């Protein structure tokens, strides 16, 4: 039940907030969203504490081990939901920043204000190495009809697509553009499964592999999960080797 509640909180609530309540436009909103995502980390902690306390109770070693194992699985799934939330938030943030940059460039490049447009804007995603992006970006609009998935969209094509959303204007010191990312329904499950894989790898502390935490908040969450996983492993070994705390 705790795992189900955590999954619903981590996946459904943030998608609902992002898609129907507000769009991320500035740093204050992204920090609020990250704070909400971190609030769900309390669920894995509660599960881990319950599993650890269960090991201290007078019960058979096998029963205590099963409780800890269930807690281990629940924490893994819960953190997968948290990582998915981070992905949804950071993917939207990057899509907006990427589009704003090129729309601004397309507006002023003829005036000579921008001498060269870099091929890649600074990466804002929570995790590097994630293959699936949950929001469409300006690059999706810039792709020709026949386009190889591994090919990179060139700067002229991005500027051409950006001009369709311009011009860029400054109002009260904030960027105002007509570009709004669209949520990719087909990427929901693949993105969550990749987050689940990363959560399993992190919980087992066997190394990150092809996915790594890229932002400060994802690094903190990963460190939390590693600590929880190590604590549960210690108590599981204690149940197997004779309950050293008795």
Domain count, the chain: 1
Higher pLDDT, 42 or 6: 42
Q: Indicate whether 62 belongs to any domain.
A: yes
Mean of all residue pLDDT scores within the chain = 69
Residue 210 pLDDT: 77
CA distances from 22 to 14, 39, 84 (A): 11, 19, 18
Q: Indicate whether 108 belongs to any domain.
A: yes
Higher pLDDT, 32 or 86: 86
Cα–Cα distance for residue pair 189/213, rounded to 1 Å? 20
Q: Is the pLDDT of residue 206 over 70?
A: no
Residue 172 pLDDT: 38
Q: Any idea which of 22-31, 120-129, 130-139 has the lowest mean pLDDT?
A: 22-31
Residue 109 pLDDT: 64
Q: What is the mean pLDDT of residues 118-144?
A: 73
Q: Indicate whether 235 belongs to any domain.
A: yes
CA distances from 177 to 21, 97, 106, 113 (A): 19, 11, 12, 19
Q: Any idea which of 59-68, 73-82, 219-228 has the lowest mean pLDDT?
A: 59-68
Q: How confident is the model at residue 138 (pLDDT cuts 50, 70, 90)?
A: confident
Q: Indicate whether 110 belongs to any domain.
A: yes
Note down the domain range covering 187: 2-241
Q: Any idea which of 57-66, 128-137, 206-215 has the lowest mean pLDDT?
A: 57-66
Residues 6+ apart with CB under 8 A from 156: none
Higher pLDDT, 118 or 166: 166
Q: Is the pLDDT of residue 225 over 80?
A: yes
Q: Are 126 and 218 in contact (CB under 8 A)?
A: yes
Residue 148 pLDDT: 52
Q: Indicate whether 168 belongs to any domain.
A: yes
170 has which bridge partners? 175
Cα–Cα distance for residue pair 226/205, rounded to 1 Å? 7
Q: Is the pLDDT of residue 209 over 70?
A: no
Q: Is the pLDDT of residue 83 over 80?
A: yes
**Token code pair at residue 112:** 């000579």
Segment (H or E) for 8: none
Q: Indicate whether 14 belongs to any domain.
A: yes
CA distances from 236 to 3, 40, 54, 106, 232 (A): 19, 25, 11, 59, 6
pTM of the model: 0.72
DSSP letter (8 states) at residue 186: G
Q: Identify the top-confidence range among 75-89, 92-106, 170-184.
A: 75-89
Cα–Cα distance for residue pair 116/95, rounded to 1 Å? 21
Q: Indicate whether 131 belongs to any domain.
A: yes
Q: Indicate whether 246 belongs to any domain.
A: no
Q: How confident is the model at residue 219 (pLDDT cuts 50, 70, 90)?
A: confident
Percent of the chain whose pLDDT exceeds 90: 0
Residue 21 pLDDT: 43
Percent of the chain whose pLDDT exceeds 70: 50
């Amino acid at each position: 039940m705790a795992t189900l509640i955590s999954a619903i909180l981590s996946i459904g609530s943030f998608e609902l907030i992002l898609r129907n309540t507000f769009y991320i436009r500035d740093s204050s909103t992204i920090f609020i969203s990250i704070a909400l995502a971190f609030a769900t980390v309390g669920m894995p902690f509660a599960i881990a504490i319950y599993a650890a306390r269960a090991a201290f109770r007078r019960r058979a070693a096998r029963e205590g081990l099963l409780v800890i194992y269930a807690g281990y699985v629940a924490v893994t799934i819960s953190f997968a939901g948290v990582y998915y939330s981070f992905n949804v938030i950071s993917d939207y943030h990057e899509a907006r920043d990427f589009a704003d940059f090129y729309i601004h460039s397309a507006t002023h490049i003829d005036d000579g204000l921008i001498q060269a447009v870099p091929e890649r804007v600074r990466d804002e995603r929570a995790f590097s190495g994630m293959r699936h992006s949950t929001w469409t970006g300006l690059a999706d609009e810039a792709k020709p009809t026949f386009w190889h998935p591994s090919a990179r969209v060139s700067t002229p094509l991005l500027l051409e697509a950006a001009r369709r959303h311009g011009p860029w204007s400054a109002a009260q010191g904030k960027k105002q553009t007509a570009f709004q990312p669209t949520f990719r329904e087909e990427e929901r499950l693949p993105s969550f499964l990749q987050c689940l894989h990363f959560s399993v790898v992190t919980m087992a502390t066997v190394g990150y592999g092809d996915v790594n935490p890229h932002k400060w908040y994802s690094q903190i969450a990963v460190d939390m999960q590693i600590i929880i996983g190590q604590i549960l492993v210690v108590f599981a070994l204690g149940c197997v080797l004779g309950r050293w705390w008795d």
